[in-house]
Structures are given as C-alpha cells and as structure tokens.
Amino acid sequence: MGPARILNVDDYGPGRYARSKMLRQFGFEVQEAANGTEALLKVANKPDVVLLDINMPDLDGLEVCRRIKGNPATSNIIVLHLSASKVNSIDRVIGLNNGADSYLTEPIEPEVLAATVRALIRARRAEDALRRSNQDLRELTHLLSHDLREPLRAITVYAELLDKSFGGRLNAAERQYLDFTLSGARHMNEVIEGVLVFSRTMHEGFVAVDVPAGDALRAACSELELSLKESGAQVSVGSLPVVRANMAALTRVFSNLLSNSVKYAGDAAPRISITAEAVGGSCKFTVRDHGIGIEPEYHRAIFEPFKRLHGKEIAGVGIGLSLCRRLIEAQGGQMWVESEAGQGSSFFFTLPQAGPDERAGGPTDLASRRSAQ
C-alpha cells in the first residue's frame, strides 16, 4: 500500500502551502485545491482524506462535504474539517451531521494533524476490510447453500425411491442404513435452509413504522395454528402496545419464541403468556413459558447461531434465537432470557415506543448495522 493520499482544500494560499509542506514531511502524498469547486473536481481522483477548510468564498466547506458524502462515488472518502476559529461551534455539529469524519480547530499541532489523519485512515481501512469480508461471506454462504442443495435433493429423492421399492424387503440392518441416510439428508436440508434464511434475513433492508404488537402476535399465532392446536397450548395475552418496529421482523420474533415454547414444553401441554410494559422510552415484552427451562450457563450460548442444547429428538437447527436477537437489535432493542432448568423460561425483548424517531425510520441493513457497532 503506497503513501496515503490527501487533498488539502483551503482558499488561503500561504496556509494551504504550509500545511501541504508539513504533510509531505510526514510522508503523505498531497494534492491541493484552492476552493470548493476545485475540490469537488479533484475528489474524482479518490484521495484517502480530504482536509476541508470550512470558510471559503465560493462553496463553503460544509456544502463541499455534503456533496462529497451525498455522492455514492465519493461518499467513502474521509473528510476532516479544519476550522480557523472556535467561534462557530455550530459548524462542528453541522459538519459532523453532514457526514464529516472528524473536525479539528486551529491552531493544530502538525503531529496531531498527522496522527489524526493516520487514525482515520486506519479506522476506514478496517471498516472496508470488514465490509469486504462480510460480502465475501455472504456470497460464499449463498454459493455453498445453492451448490449443496441439488446433490442433497438427489440423495433424498433416490433414498426415498429405494425405500418405496425395497423398503418392505430390507433386513433390520439395511433398514437402519436407509433410515440414517434419509434422516441425515433431511437434517442437512433443514440446516441449509436455515443458513439461507439466516443470511437472507441478515441482509434484508426493512423499514420500521408504528406497528400494533398485537397484530404481529396474531400473525405469528396463525402461522403456528396447527402446532399450537396439536400441542394443546394455552396462550394468554396481556394488553400489547403499538411499537416502532417492522411488522415482518416482529412477527418472526413472536413466531420463533412461541414455537420454541411449544417445542421445549416438556411433558405437559405448553402454557405461554405474552405481556408488555413501558420502561423508559421503550416497551419491554415478556414471552413466558413453563417448559423445560434452560440452565443459566447456557443463557449466552443459545443466542449464538447454530448453537443447540438438544439433539435430533427435538427438531431444529439452532438459528431461531440468534435471528430473533439480531432482528430486535436492528430495531433498536435488546433481547435476553431468564430461566432455570425445570422452571420454565422468560424471554424478554425491548422495542422503541411508537412515535416519530428518525433513527428507526429508515431502511435498516442488519449486516452493515452490525459491522458499524
């Protein structure tokens, strides 16, 4: 990697010259622009960092930054605002809100400027590497899952055909071999589907709006109608508020939690209650069951992808809770569990209360949101 490239933008010639000279002494490669218009032309050369004076006669630095960050071709370039005085602290706020990466006020020690530029570049490179590896991982997951699906489908279909044609004539050992093949193939199919659902949901953009939580719960209950009925589940529901959330995501959370309460109910019919209360500016939901419970040492692990505390005796691939937690976090909430073995489990999650909140209003990409944390 060559020296970091800096575009030094300042309408005051002597100051610009001195700064460029100093930056070159620190090993940076420096280009100059004497005004905002020239700066916007030169960002096309993709410098690593733009040092941007705020006060300039044609386009001021704040507007130049807004345009750099507003253009997808240049939005990734680091902008470091330099201000000649401390007088306008509001400029600092506007600059950072416009997307500037940092802001320094004169007088700036040369070492401080050089170290700040290096730190910003380090952070940006780490972020870029993370974004690339996220993207690679996503493509690999997609490729693997799709490439595995076809041969697996063939194994399942032909094993089922064998079962149909010869199933009645197999001896005990042969019967067992075929059963292992079939159940292994079916489980692998569930895992692949799980990986695909997980990866798709993580990269789905969704919009949060005011959602009556009761509607999401009703949708989840109707998805699970059959298993709730078959298991004889009793579901009691308190008064549920309107929250700032995404309907599909909230439905999935309820659906995963309810289906777990049914799966892990133990010997008795499932008894499940869903309640909510206001806590600060959030709503805290509780999904409580009276099932087999979870020993405290596993409370963290169960939220990790593909972590299960059970074998094949209970169906599942171990992505439900990790997906739930990520969905809740992406909507600005938190999720956790309280439980003891044999004492049932209470799953809690929070969501912002309904109402205007610009943070929750836009599309959310779970992957980028996580990598930004």
Residues that bind ligand ADP (CB under 6 A): 256, 260-261, 263-264, 289, 291-294, 302, 308-310, 316-322, 345
For residue 261, the minimal CB distance to ligand ADP (Å) is 5
Residue 253's SS3 state is helix
Nearer to ligand ADP by Cβ, of 185 and 321: the residue is 321
Question: Which residues, including other chains, have CB under 8 Å from residue 117's CB and lie 6 or more apart?
Answer: 4, 6, 23, 28, 49, 51, 80
For residue 145, the minimal CB distance to ligand ADP (Å) is 17
Token pair belonging to 133: 């590896």
Q: Is 12 exposed, middle or buried (0-12, 13-18, 19+ CB in 10 A)?
A: middle
Distance between CA atoms of residues 199 and 262, nearest Å: 25
Nearer to ligand ADP by Cβ, of 68 and 335: the residue is 335
Distance between CA atoms of residues 218 and 258, nearest Å: 11
For residue 142, the minimal CB distance to ligand ADP (Å) is 21
Name the closest residue to ligand ADP (Cβ): 316
Terminal-to-terminal C-alpha distance of the chain: 27
For residue 102, the minimal CB distance to ligand ADP (Å) is 40
Nearer to ligand ADP by Cβ, of 199 and 261: the residue is 261
For residue 245, the minimal CB distance to ligand ADP (Å) is 20
Nearer to ligand ADP by Cβ, of 218 and 263: the residue is 263
Residue 107's SS3 state is coil
* Geometric angle at alpha carbon 154, from 151 and 155, rounded to 5°: 90
What are the two backbone dihedrals, phi and then psi, of residue 91, each rounded to the nearest 5 degrees?
-60, -35
Nearer to ligand ADP by Cβ, of 220 and 319: the residue is 319
Distance between CA atoms of residues 322 and 345, nearest Å: 16
For residue 152, the minimal CB distance to ligand ADP (Å) is 19
Q: Which residue reads 């490179």 in tokens?
A: 125
Cis peptide before 14 (omega within 30 of 0): no
Distance between CA atoms of residues 43 and 341, nearest Å: 60
Nearer to ligand ADP by Cβ, of 12 and 298: the residue is 298
For residue 315, the minimal CB distance to ligand ADP (Å) is 7
- Taking a C-beta distance cutoff of 8 angstroms, is the pair 65, 79 a contact? yes
For residue 29, the minimal CB distance to ligand ADP (Å) is 50
Nearer to ligand ADP by Cβ, of 175 and 299: the residue is 299
Count CA atoms closer than 13 A to 142's CA, side-chain side: 11
Question: Which residues, including other chains, have CB under 8 Å from residue 308's CB and lie 6 or more apart?
Answer: 316, 317, 318
Nearer to ligand ADP by Cβ, of 76 and 346: the residue is 346
